[in-house]
Amino acid sequence: MAIDRSKFPPRYRTVAINDDGLESHSYVPGGLDALTSSPENDRPGANPEQFVGLALSTCLNATLEAIEQRRDLPHTSQVHTIVEMARDTRGLQFYVTAQVRIPGVDQATAEAMVDLAERRCPVAKLLSGSDNVRVELVKEFTPVEPVTD
């Protein structure tokens, strides 16, 4: 369902630019300029998978930080997002798993905080319609190993 932009006008606007494809760079005018490359080669540079992971990790943890602040809790939340690329019947797809740790908070409180953050974080809301996206509360982060053939 589309949001009524006249009722909820933008509070911030930016533009992210890539004019030359994957083996080039992406940038925000006056800000970030990142060399880009395919994850399937060894050239230096970031890739879309990493940008998706960074966007979700950063936004979700910023939302958790605001929730911690409202509850007078110290900021201890951490978010690690695992993004995997796989081939499907129509090309490629991503599997995204955001793992959240909140040390020093009991399980029930942490679960409630993650649920609230997932419903409030703009990036999590944007990705929430996909069966390939999960947000999970963990005691320890899963070690991430490279995919080998």
pLDDT above 70 coverage of the chain, percent: 99
pLDDT single digits (tens) 74-132: 999 999 999 999 999 999 999 999 999 999 999 999 999 999 999 999 999 999 989 99
Share of the chain above pLDDT 90, in %: 92
- pLDDT, tens only, 60-75: 999 999 999 999 999 9
Left (φ > 0), alpha (ψ -120 to 50) or beta: where does 71 sit?
alpha
Q: Give the pLDDT confidence score for residue 146 in this predicted structure.
A: 84
How confident is the prediction for the chain on average, in pLDDT? 95
Confidence of residue 149 (pLDDT cuts 50, 70, 90): low
User: Which contacts of 57-61 are long-range, i.e. CB under 8 A and separated by 24 or more positions?
Assistant: 57/81, 57/98, 58/123, 59/121, 59/122, 59/123, 59/124, 60/98, 60/100, 60/117, 60/118, 60/121, 60/123, 60/124, 60/135
- Quote the pLDDT of residue 95: 97
Report pLDDT for 2.
Answer: 80
Position 21, amino acid: G
Average pLDDT of 28-50?
A: 95
